[in-house]
Structure 1
Amino acid sequence: MSISTELTQTKAATGIEGLDDILAGGLSRGHVFLLEGEPGTGKTTVALQFLLAGARAGERSLYITLSETERELRQGALSHGWHMDENVHVFELTPPESLLNAEQQQTLLYSSDLELGEATRQIFEVVERIKPTRVVLDSLSEIRLLAQSSLRYRRQILAIKHYFVRYDATVLLLDDLTTESLDKTVHSVAHGVIRLEELTPNYGAERRRIRVVKYRGQKYRGGFHDFTIMADGVHVFPRLVAAEHRGIYTRQQLTSGIAEMDALLGGGIETGSSTLILGPAGTGKSLISMVFAAAAVTRGERAALFIFDEELGLLFDRMKHIGIDLQALKDTGNLLIEQVDAAELSPGEFSHRVRRCVDQRDIKTVVIDSINGYQAAMPEENALVLHMHELLLYLNRQGAATFMTVAQHGLVGDMQAPVDITYLADTVILLRYFEALGKVRRAISIIKKRTGSHESTIREYRISAQGMTIGEPLDAFQGVLRGVPTYLGADSPLLADEVR
C-alpha cells in the first residue's frame, strides 16, 4: 500500500515494515494505542522496536515498566542486537519503601489507594522530567490490579490518556491479558487497538499472527497477518491482496525445449499464467517443472524454485542423472533455489518470500514443489485455496509463469488429490501410470488450457539418463487414464525399450 509523504509525517513509524504497511504508515501521533496479547506473543519486542525507531529519528522515547526490571529490558534488547542509546529512557516503577515495609503499612486506608496514587504520581513526574514524544507503558495488568474496580480503572486510564495528550506524545499501552481479559475498558478509550496471538499446532513451531482490531479515522489492512520473532526483531508479513498489485507486461509463449511437450501444450506455456502438474508419486511432476525452469535460465531469464518435499542435495543429484544440472544453472545467478521447511514456516511468510523474489529479482518463472508441502505448512487452517488464489493472481499480474505440483493419493485407477485447485490453474497437466504388455508405463495429457489451444491426445513418456522422452499419441489404446488400457490397434505405438 503506498502512503503519501504528507500522511507519513503525521504517523509515528513502528520500525516494523510489515506492521507500518498494515497501519497505513504507523501510529497517529499524539494518540494512545493499546497493544494486547498473552505473555510470550511479542509485545515487549514490538514496543522496543517502536521506541528505537523514534530514537533513530531523533525523538526522545520513554519505557515505563511495572512488570519487568530495567536490567531485564536491556538484556532483552541486547538479545536482538539493540543498544538503547540516550534517546531511549527506561523508568522502572517500584512501590515506595513504606509500602514494602509491613510495619509501616496503613490500616485505616486501603493500601491499593496509596499504591495507585503513588504509581500515577511517579509516571507523571518522569514524563515531566524527560518530555518524551514516544511512550510505552508496560503493563496495564498491574494498574488494573491496583485499581481493583472497573470504575477506578477506567478513570485512571482516562486520566493517563488526557495527561499524555497534553504533551502530544504517542503512547503504546501494553496489556498481557492476565487479569479480566473480557474487560474492554481500554478498547473504548484507545485510539487504536492491536492484538497479538500465538497458536500452537500439534506439530512444528508456534505460529504468531497480528490483527488491528480498531483504528479511529484511518483505513487499515484488516484481518489476520502472520508474523515471526527473529534474531533481529519482529517481522510482520501483511496478508497478500493481489488486487493491489497490477503489473504491465507483454504476454509471451515459453517453450520447454522438448518438441513433443510443446506440441501437447499448443506451442508452450504463456507468461502470466499458472500451470498445475497433477499425478501420483514418481511420475515425474518435479522433472517437468524443472524442465521449464531450466529452459528459462537457458534463455537468459530468471527462475525460482521453492522446494517443500525434497532435500536439495538429493534433488540436485537426481536431476543431474537425468540431464539437468541445477548446480550449474544456479551458478549462473539466474536460478534461485529455496528449501522450505513446512513445519517452521507460516503461509504468510511463504507468500512474502515468493513476492520478495519476484519483485526484487525480476523472476519470471516460479516453481512450487509441491502444494502438498504448502498444505502441510497450514495443518489447522482452512484457507489454503484462498491463499493460493491470491498468490497465483499476484504472480500472474507480474507476468510470471507459475508451475505447481500436486501428488495424488494412489498409483493407478481412481485417485484423489489432497486439495483441489485445478479450477485455479490456467493449465493442468495430468500424469498417469498404466500397465501394458507386462510393464508399468507413464502417460501424459493436457486436461485444460485457458490461454490457447492444446492437444487432446494422451502420449506415453519415459524418463531416462537422456531426460524426458515423449512418444506419439496413444490412439490405439482405450482406458489409459484408468491405469489398465485395452489395446485396439494393429501396430503398437508404445515407446521402444532402450538399448542398454
Structure 2
Amino acid sequence: MTRPEASPPEKARTGVPGLDDILSGGLSPGHMFLLEGNPGTGKTTIALRFLLEGAARGEQCLYITLSETARELREGAASHGWSLPDEVSVFELVPPESLLDSAQQQSLLHSSDLELGEATRQIFEAYERVRPTRIVLDSLSEIRLLAQGSLRYRRQILALKHYFARLGGTVLLLDDLTSDTFDKTVHSVVHGVIRLEALSPSYGAERRRLRISKYRGQAFRGGFHDFTIQRGGVHVFPRLIAAEHRSGYERARMTSDIPALDALLGGGIEQGSSTLLLGPSGTGKSILSLQFVTAAIRRGEKAAIFVFDEEMGLLLRRAAEIGFDLEGMRRRGALLIEQVDAAELSPGEFAHRVREHVDKAQAKTVVIDSLNGYQAAMPDENALILHIHELLQYLNRQGATTFLTVAQHGLVGDMRSPVDVTYLADTVILLRYFEAVGNVRRAISVIKKRTGAHENTIREYQISRGGIGLGEPLRDFQGVLRGVPTFTGDTAPLLDSFPAK
C-alpha cells in the first residue's frame, strides 16, 4: 500500500506586500535565508516586517543585532507606525551599558582579540532563552570581520545553519555588504538569497529594486522587481508577466459616438485592443482619447486616465470647455484620473497602479497620456519597449481598451518619435498639422488597424467648444502628412467655415 504524500509545510510569509508573491508564498520554514544590500536599501524594514508577521501568527521571534541598538530598532519600527509586541525579542550582542564598564571591555565590537566563539555562544544562549520560530541576525559584516578569514567565516555560518535547522527555526541573515562585497561564501550555504539595490538617477528620487538570485527547490518570480519604502514599510511591485493573466470576454466594437470618426476607423475600435495616437504637440491627441473615454462611460463602463505631462486642473478645465465633464464623471465614480510624476514613480509601481484600476475598479478603457512622460521614468528605451509590451498584453487579455499618446518632435515637416511603439499597437491614428490658404489646419488618418478594415483617407478635423468635428476626405491635397501639401482643387470651399460637428 502506497502512503499518501505529505503536504509541504506552510511557508513563513514575510508580510511584505508583493514579496510573498515573488517568493511563491514566502520563505520555506526551517531554513536560512540571506537578505543583502547596501546600507539604506530596506533590509531592516523587511526583517522587522518578517518578525511582526510571525508575531501576528502567535510565533516567538528574535532579532539579534550586532550593529543597531534596541532603541534604534524600536524607533525605526515606530517610524512605520509599528510597535514591537512581546512576541518579538530584541537581543543586543553588546549591551550599551557595558561599554562604560571597565570590566566589560572585552566585548564583541570593541575589542580586536575577542574570540568569535564567544559571539556564537551568546547567540545560542539568546536562542535558548526565547526559543523563537523566526530569527533575524543583523548583520553578517560584523561576523565576517571577526572571522578574519574566509574558511573560518564559512565554518561559523555552517555552524549557525545546522544549529537553527536542528531546532526548526527560519533564519533571515542580513548583510550590508560593507566589509567585502565580493565574498559569496554565504550564498552557497543559505537556502535562498534576496538582493536589494538602490539606483540613483541623474534626476528624481532614487529607485529601488530587488531580485531573488537563489531559492533551492522552489520556483520563484525571476528578474528585477521595483519596490518602495514608505510609512508602513516596504511595498514590492512584482514584475508584470502578461502570460499569467488571462480572462475570457466577448470582443465588441467600441465606438467614439462621432460617426465620421467611427467610419474612418472602419466602424470603431475592437475591445481589448490598443490604439496609438501619434502626432506633434497640440494636434489633439489627449482630446481624441477623451472622446473615447466619454463614449465608454455613456455605455455604462468605467475608465481610467493616467496623466504624465499635463497638470490635472488644467486638463479638467480644458476638457470642460470642449464639453467633456470629467469632474462629474469622476464624482460619479465612473472615471479614475491619476496624475503621475515620472520623476518619482518607477515603471513597476506604475504597472501596479494600472492593474489595480483594471482588476479592482473594473476599468475597461485606459488612457496613458503620454508615453513621452512614461519614457522619462525608464532607464533606457529598450526597457521601455519591454514594459509597454507586457502592459499592453496584460490589458488586452483583461478586455481593456487602451489608448496611448506619443508626442512627436517638431510641428511640420520631418517628424520623429522619441520611441517607436507602432508595431506594438493594434491601431495607429496619425495626427498632423498642414498649411492651406494661409491657415494652419489639422488632419487625421488611420495608418494601421490589425482588427479589421479602415478608411485610407485623410480627413481634416477641428476642435471647438462643440467638441471634435471631422470633414470630408481631403482629395485635392498631396503631401498632407508632410505638413506642406500641394493643393490642386478649388480654393473656394476651403474658405468656408468648417462645421464643429
- The TM-score normalised by the length of structure 2 is 0.95
The residue that corresponds to 1:3 in the other structure is none
Kindly indicate whether residue 245 of structure 2 is the aligned counterpart of residue 245 of structure 1: yes
Alignment of 1:43-442 (within 5 A): 43-94=43-94, 112=112, 114-380=114-380, 382-442=382-442
For 2:371, the aligned partner's letter is I
Distance 2:346 2:498 in 1: 45
Matching residue's letter, 1:452: G
Distance 1:495 1:126, change over 3 A: farther
- 2:443 aligns with 443
Range that drifts further, 68-77 or 328-337:
328-337
Question: Do the aligned partners of 1:10 and 1:29 also contact (CA within 8 Å) in 2?
Answer: yes
Instruction: Verify the 8 A CA contact 1:434 1:440 in the aligned structure 2.
Output: yes
Q: Distance in 2 between matches of 1:96 and 1:291?
A: 66
1:298 Cα offset (Å): 1.2
Alpha-carbon deviation of 1:9?
4.5
Aligned equivalents of 2:45, 2:492: Cα separation in 1: 69
Give the whole-Å Cα distance in 2 for the aligned partners of 1:294 and 1:168.
59
Name the CA distance, whole Å, in 2 between partners of 1:338 and 1:497: 37
In the alignment, the residues of structure 2 paired with residue 11 and residue 456 of structure 1 have an alpha-carbon distance, to the nearest angstrom, of: 58
Distance 1:228 1:250, change over 3 A: same
Instruction: Report the equivalent of 1:31.
Output: 31
Q: Distance in 1 between matches of 2:466 and 2:338?
A: 26
One-letter code aligned to 2:185: T
Q: Deviations over 1:411-438 (max 9, x none)?
A: 0011000000000000000000000000
Q: Do the aligned partners of residues 315 and 95 (structure 1) sit closer, same or farther apart at CA in structure 2, a change above 3 Å counting?
A: closer
Q: Is the 8 A contact 1:112 1:147 kept in 2?
A: no
User: How far did residue 490 of structure 1 move?
Assistant: 3.4
Q: Deviations over 1:127-184 (max 9, x none)?
A: 0111000000000001111111111111111111111011100000000000011000
Aligned to 1:11: 11
Q: Tell me whether 111-120 or 20-29 shows the greater mean CA deviation.
A: 111-120
Contact 1:95–1:115 at 8 Å: present in 2 too?
no
Deviation for aligned residue 1:329: 1.3
Q: Partner letter of residue 314 of structure 1?
A: L
- SS state at 2:374 partner: helix
Query: How many residues are paired up?
Result: 492
* CA distance, structure 2, for counterparts of residue 57 and residue 494 of structure 1: 76
Deviation at 1:450, TM superposition (A): 0.3
Identity %: 72
Unaligned segments of structure 1, at least 5 residues: 1-5
Partner of 1:469: 469
For residues 136 and 256 of structure 2, the distance between their equivalents in structure 1, rounded to whole angstroms, comes to: 57
Secondary structure of the residue aligned to 1:46 is: helix
- 2:3 is matched with which residue? none
Q: Which runs of 5+ in 2 are unaligned?
A: 1-5
Show the counterpart of 1:484.
484
Q: Secondary structure at the match of 2:283?
A: coil
Deviation at 1:497?
2.5
Aligned partner of residue 114 in structure 1, secondary structure: coil
Distance 2:443 2:364 in 1: 28
What letter matches 2:51 in structure 1? L
Give the Cα separation in 2 of the matches to 1:351 and 1:492. Answer: 51
Tell me the TM-score normalised to structure 1 length.
0.95
- Aligned AA (2:457): T
Report the CA distance shift for 1:18/1:429 in structure 2 as closer, same or farther (over 3 A). same
Output the amino acid matched with 2:313: G
Q: Is the 8 A contact 1:409 1:417 kept in 2?
A: yes
Measure, in 1, the Cα distance between the counterparts of 2:322 and 2:19.
Answer: 46
| CA distance in structure 1 between the partners assigned to 2:186 and 2:23 by the alignment | 19
Kindly indicate whether the alpha-carbon contact (under 8 Å) linking 1:136 and 1:174 is maintained by their aligned counterparts in 2.
yes
Q: In 2, Cα distance between the equivalents of 1:316 and 1:96?
A: 58
Decide whether the 8 Å contact of 2:469 with 2:499 is kept in 1: no
1:116, CA displacement in angstroms?
1.6
Deviation at 1:360, TM superposition (A): 0.5
Aligned to 1:456: 456
2:437 touches 2:491 (CA, 8 Å); kept in 1? no
Which secondary structure does the structure 2 equivalent of 1:164 belong to? helix
SS in 2 for 1:393: helix
Range 196-205 or range 7-16, more displaced: 7-16
**Distance in 2 separating the partners of 1:7 and 1:294:** 52
Distance 1:140 1:489, change over 3 A: same
Query: Matches of 2:486 and 2:498 in 1, distance apart?
Result: 24
Amino acid paired to 1:30: G
- Contact kept, 8 Å, 1:461 with 1:468, in 2: the verdict is yes
Counterparts of 2:206 and 2:491, CA distance in 1: 60
